[in-house]
Amino acid sequence: MSVSWKNDATAMAEAVRSKQVSATELAKEALARVETLDSKLNAFCTPTPELALAQAAALDRAITQGRPVGPLAGVPYGIKDLICTKGVRTMSGAVAFRDFVPDEDDVVVERMRDAGAVAIGKTNVPEFGYSGVGHNPIGETTRNPWNLDRTPGGSSAGSGAAVAAGMCPIALGSDGGGSVRIPASFCGLVGVKASMGRVPLYPGTKDERYPGVSSWESLEHIGPMARSVRDAALMLSVIAGPDERDRRTIPCNDIDWLDAARPRDIKGMRVAYSADWGYAAVDPEVRRVVHEAVRVFERDLGCIVEEAHPGWDDPYAAFWGVVAAESDLKGLREITAKHGAKMTPHIVDFINRPWTAEELTSANVVRKAVANKMWRFMRDYDILLTPTLAVPPFALHIQGLEKIEGRMVAPFQWLAFTFPMNLTGNPAASVPAGFTGDGLPVGLQIVGKHLADATVLRAAAAFEAARPWADTWPAIAT
């Protein structure tokens, strides 16, 4: 078999369509890697070998019969366990949903299947996705392939670990406060949060039949996790586009996703660089690695780079107010009344906090102010560069560091760069910027203007061509 797990999804699909390799061969290799590696990484909470082999066999029959197959023909992939899968349990890392089996697929799962992708399993998440890490009350802790004593980030924890270790070339994640970009940064991957409305969300965040899960509607994005920009774009070409089940979705005919991901000259692009928003504590190693990456845009790519901040005050408290306002607090409080002693403590505290109407409305006011500052700021720039996260991957079984750059901070302040982009809805990607001195990945966040997804992909592809990363693997993968 000339095509192997080291190939990206684009190459795999081309090989399957041209009959260089069968979908079944790729599925078996991916499942064998899961069996070999996942006892160490715990990326998959529910492997689906029978489903994968059935989907692969159906695809091989279609090719043998000369029927057309989709752009992801035969590509193995993982599905984050917050994303609904018909007939396959979707636990959301929660005691209350340990045995929950949806009766319908999420829109993006439908689209991936129709494009020929082969689902090899559900990937692990923290409870309800309310954390940026990879542990929960009901399963084994997901570990970072670059260092098994460190977290892979979350909440798309298992998706990040699976792709980084080469168990599958791509995976679906979701991002309500950074949850695609966080594990992309910690695992050395590409993760894209497209503009709000590009990718449909249903049923996980919108269906009243799932109390306690329906939440984060105006913050949440489903997005690709991959090892290359072109694979992320390929996934977006499949999953993006309007759907009647999501009233927020918008047409996407303004973007040729695959063309946007082709490396090209971006000389003269106007680039803002904010190392810390003007207020955030940032680990010195992260500052160093990201600063070197930003220099590539100026020195090698010919961009006009200027250090500047959008100018908002820290919207951390407002973000959680928006989360509360969009959550099914009634349903969640019923769940904590029954299962609270077995749940993640900070989630129980968040759910049972006596939120006031003024707190919730004030949070929305702050959100509007952040969005207004963002569009005004971006009038002067094509893209904004920041660290993806304030710290490198940290130890397991904590929610975050309490001390960064010599400053005491709240446990989630290491997410200072990701969640504001969920408040504004701007397109944002995390790409590998480099490594710390002890070999841990650091991500660079690339943010675009409102609906300028193509510009984000162009910038990411240009940086990837200047500083290629796809052939760098953690030792466990090889």
Is the pLDDT assigned to residue 387 strictly greater than 80? yes
Q: Is the pLDDT of residue 369 over 80?
A: yes
Task: Report which of residues 206 and 137 the model is more confident about.
Answer: 137
DSSP string, 380-415: T-SEEEEESSSS---BTT-SS-SEETTEE--TTGGG
User: How far apart, in whole angstroms, are the C-alpha atoms of residue 204 and residue 219?
Assistant: 13
Give the β-pairing of 383-387 and 270-273: parallel
> 2 falls in which pLDDT band (50, 70, 90)?
confident
Among 327-331, 392-396, 414-418, 455-459, the minimum mean pLDDT is found in 327-331
Q: Is residue 225 part of a domain?
A: yes
Q: Is 80 a catalytic residue?
A: yes
Encoded tokens for 255: 């973007």
| CA distance linking residue 402 with residue 423, whole number of Å | 24
> Residue 214's pLDDT is what?
60
Q: Is residue 424 part of a domain?
A: yes
Reading the block at residue 6, the tokens are 């080291």
Residue 121 forms beta bridges with which residues? 47, 78
User: Containing domain of residue 135, as a range?
Assistant: 9-477
| Per-residue model confidence (pLDDT) at position 117 | 98
Number of domains in the chain: 1
1 inside domain = no
pLDDT of residue 1: 64
Q: Tell me what pLDDT residue 140 has.
A: 98
Q: What is the pLDDT of residue 110?
A: 98
Q: Is the pLDDT of residue 49 over 80?
A: yes
pLDDT mean over 402-410:
96
Q: Looking at residue 436, which CATH number applies to its domain? A: 3.90.1300.10
Residue 204: predicted pLDDT: 79
Q: What is the pLDDT of residue 207?
A: 66
User: Does residue 179 have an active-site annotation?
Assistant: yes
Residue 236 in any domain: the answer is: yes
The answer to whether position 30 is within a domain reads yes
Distance CA 198, CA 207 (A): 19
- pLDDT-wise least confident of 42-51, 128-137, 206-215: 206-215
Residue of 22, 80, 195, 228 marked catalytic? 80
Tokens of 416: 């200072």
Closest CA to 366 of 422, 314, 310: 314
* Whether residue 364 has pLDDT greater than 80: yes
pLDDT confidence tier of residue 411, bands split at 50, 70 and 90: confident
pLDDT at 206 over 70: no
pLDDT tens string 152-199: 999 999 999 999 999 999 999 999 999 999 999 999 999 999 999 999
- Beta strands, E only, 167-277: 170-175, 190-193, 221-226, 270-273
Give the rounded percent of residues in the chain with a pLDDT score beyond 90: 95
Which residue type, as a one-letter code, is found at position 471? D
Among residues 156, 159, 174, 179, the one annotated as catalytic is: 179
Catalytic residue among 22, 92, 131, 155: 155
Question: Is residue 66 a part of any domain in this protein?
Answer: yes
d(CA 313, CA 80) in angstroms, rounded, equals: 33
Residues 291, 380: Cα–Cα separation, whole Å: 21
Residue 128 has pLDDT above 80, yes or no: yes
CA pseudo-torsion sign 352, 356, 361, 367: negative
Query: In this structure, is residue 3 part of a structural domain?
Result: no
Strand pairing class (118-123; 44-47) = antiparallel
Average per-residue pLDDT for the chain:
96
What band does 6 get if pLDDT is binned at 50, 70 and 90? very high
Residues of the chain with pLDDT > 70: what percent? Answer: 98
Task: Give yes or no for a cis peptide into 174 (omega within 30° of 0).
Answer: no
Mean pLDDT of 355-375: 98
Q: Is residue 2 part of a domain?
A: no
Which residue matches tokens 């890392």? Answer: 93
